[in-house]
Structure 1
């Protein structure tokens, strides 16, 4: 399970519900608006959590607690996938394959290695592909709906820029455990009091030596509950504001909370810390030609157009700039000959970013598929960022955006669930 665990920790959670074998006893377990959750899906997710726990030597709460958490996760998944259908969000096969290749590459493995590891763990490659597709779709749904809820003021950017100046390029990082004892989006005094009482009892159990991950799986309303509440590594500026203020000055192993927010009461544990690191940022100057597939232009024809463009450029039959001006469907760069200017490569979508990482200066890529369409990319130059004032402001903005996006995502998911019709079928 070593490879799969790394993939999960990298931020993509692959639920293997699709590998469950249908039986005559399968039935509808939950109705979620216009969708349903089958008993087999719940059982498959519970079994997946158990397999991961066994591989990591992690104890688990009761089957009833696991089932409750599994149902909750599948409800949220169903609501997001239904919204994706309404919004017309789809992930093409070429984009999906590119993403899977990038996942394997991030683990210093080949696609064949990934297939072999999946087979060893009893997971079919087709099921894995579709679960990756669902994760990508849900990510697009969250970005489309949450992005417009994030508002950042000039004063916030200025304040964080000053803090970055004080701290320099060295930032302490924390691996956080998180338990959320939630209450409704419009709680009564009784709801708040009951949640506070539960949070106090949880904190007492933890102070008496109970296993944090086990209690998180059993009791937490947070999105990381089935991962034992583990939020992964974050620096102080990337955390939700409440957490950032609470963890400063705290040491490994300390428990923090309960901390009240609009979602409920939070209990944190500092699972680990890692020291001061020097951060250097490389910027790239690149240009591209974008061709978007459509009903008229197929995926294959769009790709072949770029292959022909690359041949023309290499044979000096045309210039990159002229082809970009004539054919590129990126209005922001087409008039500039496809030039994107100097930028931190992390601002680009993963497929584009990874293609840039593999290029040498003045080298062109093969056609690359991203969420935007097919790209022909040329890397012009690389340089090390000199941490100018503009860069500091951009960094401050991105940190604030990531923090607020996480907070607003939790609120958006909670609101969507509160408004949904959900019926657990007895």
Structure 2
């Protein structure tokens, strides 16, 4: 349970202390607000616990403090912007999120609260931490996610490039280190960052642990996760990595990669492939009878039972659907729903449809839309790889653009803020 708890607390580690706040010295001024040493100490402790659970060796305390403090500063900036622009998360939304967290860990909300308190964590503080996480998520959605679009031309170009490279089914497990430069950096700042990146690259190639180095030195958003970017398909790679990563061998570390954000180092941890997407499709047609003030559930069920019997006696199902179905769109086609892939229909309809053999007509059954009878006409195995690839490409391009825009947006937010560090005071 301890391992589970630490993993859950990772959701909100950086949003404030879990216990009582001790009023002590200020370690950072962020615009008009401050970060306290007690907050920093609590968060460093939580991060250390996470790293121990993962089996990651810890960097020196002062390096971890600097990383955690920078994360606290960035989150403080985002919360300030959210407050200024009216983003709020109400208690109902917050309670739903807490219930999902508890359920994901196989607990009721009451049990989850007991686990937290038994381990010495203050539940009201945890609750407010989650509220802040939701606020930041809404801020990202408004400022970045909702502004990102993907055109059909981008998808076409993406798929064409993948086919030329012959690696559309390959996934890459990556780790990443960023040596950041400020916006409109001077030549001296650029050279200092390049030198720092070169020295770090040399240390890594001499055997320094990449995960530990990322925790200690990286300016990237994933620094405290050891620089892990997880598994990425080609379309999920940042644009500047696209020509580099496929050429790396597993375990190999890239050269310095320059971008507007700074200098990047990427390590390829692993590589894997994917199978074609073949699904079972069902060709079906149905008759729908909706209920209302004049048609009760019993009336609808009896009416459909009579229509089903007429079909068994030789009446054409298509003509019955045209004359009697309340689903006007399919009624014009004799109730024909075309070829249906898994997940296209609501669960109850799909459950009944998949229980039938070709040619079979169901008993009347109820869904949220009314009462149905459905007939299965045929089944087939269909290769949906192309459609799947287009949908996947759209999501991957969108995710890549969101990550790139978020990084730029965060850097601009940081550059425009007043931040004064007092860690050594």
Q: Could you tell me the TM-score, scaled by structure 1's length?
A: 0.70
| Residue number among 69, 92, 95 corresponding to 1:94 in the alignment | 92
2:265 alignment partner, SS class: strand
CA contact (8 A) 2:178 2:263 kept: yes
Aligned 1:221-300 pairs, distance under 5 A: 221-278=219-276
CA contact (8 A) 1:181 1:265 kept: yes
Cα deviation for residue 159 of structure 1 reads 0.8
Q: Unpaired segments of 5 or more residues in structure 2?
A: 282-290, 301-328, 330-339, 352-366, 373-378
Cα deviation for residue 262 of structure 1 reads 0.6
Aligned length: 351
Cα deviation for residue 16 of structure 1 reads 6.2
1:282 and 1:312 mapped to 2: Cα distance? 39
Cα deviation for residue 50 of structure 1 reads 1.2
| Residue number among 366, 388, 397 corresponding to 1:400 in the alignment | 397
Partner residue, 1:23: 22
Q: Once the two structures are superposed, what CA deviation does each residue of 1:202-236 show, in whole Å capped at 9, x if it has no partner?
A: 11111111111221111111011112111222222
Q: Does 1:203 align with 2:181?
A: no
1:65 and 1:263 mapped to 2: Cα distance? 21
Structure number with larger C-alpha Rg:
2
Q: In angstroms, what is the RMSD of aligned CA positions?
A: 4.0
2:256 and 2:90 mapped to 1: Cα distance? 44
2:140 alignment partner, SS class: helix
2:117 and 2:280 mapped to 1: Cα distance? 38
Cα deviation for residue 54 of structure 1 reads 2.1
Cα deviation for residue 27 of structure 1 reads 3.0
CA 1:247 to 1:389, structure 2 compared with 1: closer, same or farther past 3 Å? closer
1:135 and 1:281 mapped to 2: Cα distance? 38
2:89 alignment partner, SS class: coil
Partner residue, 2:124: 126
1:390 and 1:413 mapped to 2: Cα distance? 34
Cα deviation for residue 178 of structure 1 reads 0.9
Cα deviation for residue 172 of structure 1 reads 2.5
Cα deviation for residue 73 of structure 1 reads 0.5
CA contact (8 A) 2:116 2:122 kept: yes
177-186 or 85-94, larger mean C-alpha shift: 85-94
Q: Once the two structures are superposed, what CA deviation does each residue of 1:93-141 show, in whole Å capped at 9, x if it has no partner?
A: 2222222333344445544554454345433332222222211110110
Cα deviation for residue 263 of structure 1 reads 0.4
Q: Could you tell me the TM-score, scaled by structure 2's length?
A: 0.70
CA contact (8 A) 1:3 1:117 kept: no
Partner residue, 1:2: 3
Aligned 1:98-113 pairs, distance under 5 A: 98-111=96-109
Cα deviation for residue 252 of structure 1 reads 2.6
